[in-house]
């Protein structure tokens, strides 16, 4: 049973059904349409572009080294060839570590930016709920709410408050 259904079933037993006022906020839309969400996407895009640029540069270096090894394989002694191949393997491992580090850093940045926005958004939702006399405000996608009247959608109010 969803959280929304559980709460709705419990309300009549509390004897206060006529005093209950519901609200809904679509946090995905808040993240997508708010200035804070747009700025976060821009920051992440810049971080991703820088990482991709470095990764492409390192890929090209690896490819050039591999081609050099293949060209010189017949001319190099066994020791010199083994040394070049070890160098290639070392650089390949460094490249793979770098890609993992970039992925980790980008994922952490994404979590931090979203967490910062959601923290501020939760405070705004609280203020709107208190001012508007809402008993319960559901998050649209995670609460199991399948239908609601548009007049209880507080998303635009939240976006406007967040953009101030």
Q: What are the tens digits of pLDDT across the range 36-91?
A: 999 999 999 999 999 999 999 999 999 999 999 999 989 989 999 999 999 999 99
Report the distance separating Cα 2 and Cα 147, nearest Å: 14
DSSP state of 154: -
Nearest partner of 164 among 116, 109, 121, judged by Cα: 121
Q: Is the dihedral of CA 152, 153, 154, 157 positive or negative?
A: negative
Q: Span 108-120, mean pLDDT?
A: 94
pLDDT tens sequence across 16-34:
556 889 999 999 999 999 9
How many separate domains does the chain show? 1
Q: Span 143-147, mean pLDDT?
A: 79
Residue 25, by phi and psi: left (phi above 0), alpha (psi -120 to 50) or beta? beta
Query: What percent of the chain shows pLDDT beyond 90?
Result: 75
Task: Give me the helices (H) in the chain, please.
Answer: 3-14, 27-33, 35-72, 78-132, 155-163
In which domain, by residue range, is 79 found?
3-163
Q: Span 138-157, mean pLDDT?
A: 86
Residue 24, by phi and psi: left (phi above 0), alpha (psi -120 to 50) or beta? beta
φ/ψ (deg, to 5) at 24: -135, 140
Asked if 33 and 159 count as a contact pair (C-beta separation under 8 A), the reply is yes
pLDDT exceeds cutoff 90 at 128: yes
Q: Is the dihedral of CA 111, 159, 27, 31 positive or negative?
A: negative
Report the distance separating Cα 72 and Cα 60, nearest Å: 18
pLDDT band at 9 (very low <50, low <70, confident <90, very high): very low
């Amino acid at each position: 049973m969803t959280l929304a259904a559980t709460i709705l079933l419990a309300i009549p037993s509390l004897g206060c059904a006529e005093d209950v006022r519901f609200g809904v906020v679509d946090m995905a839309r808040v993240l997508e349409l708010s200035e804070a969400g747009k700025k976060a996407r821009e920051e992440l895009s810049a971080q991703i572009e820088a990482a991709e640029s470095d990764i492409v540069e390192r890929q090209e270096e690896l490819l050039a080294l591999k081609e050099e090894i293949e060209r010189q394989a017949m001319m190099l002694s066994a020791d010199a060839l083994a040394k070049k191949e070890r160098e290639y393997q070392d650089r390949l491992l460094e490249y793979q570590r770098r890609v993992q580090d970039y992925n980790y850093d980008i994922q952490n940045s994404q979590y931090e930016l979203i967490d910062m926005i959601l923290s501020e958004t939760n405070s705004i939702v609280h203020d709107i709920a208190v001012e508007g006399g809402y008993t319960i405000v559901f998050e649209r996608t995670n609460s199991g709410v399948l239908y609601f009247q548009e007049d209880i959608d507080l998303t635009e109010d939240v976006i406007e408050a967040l953009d101030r």
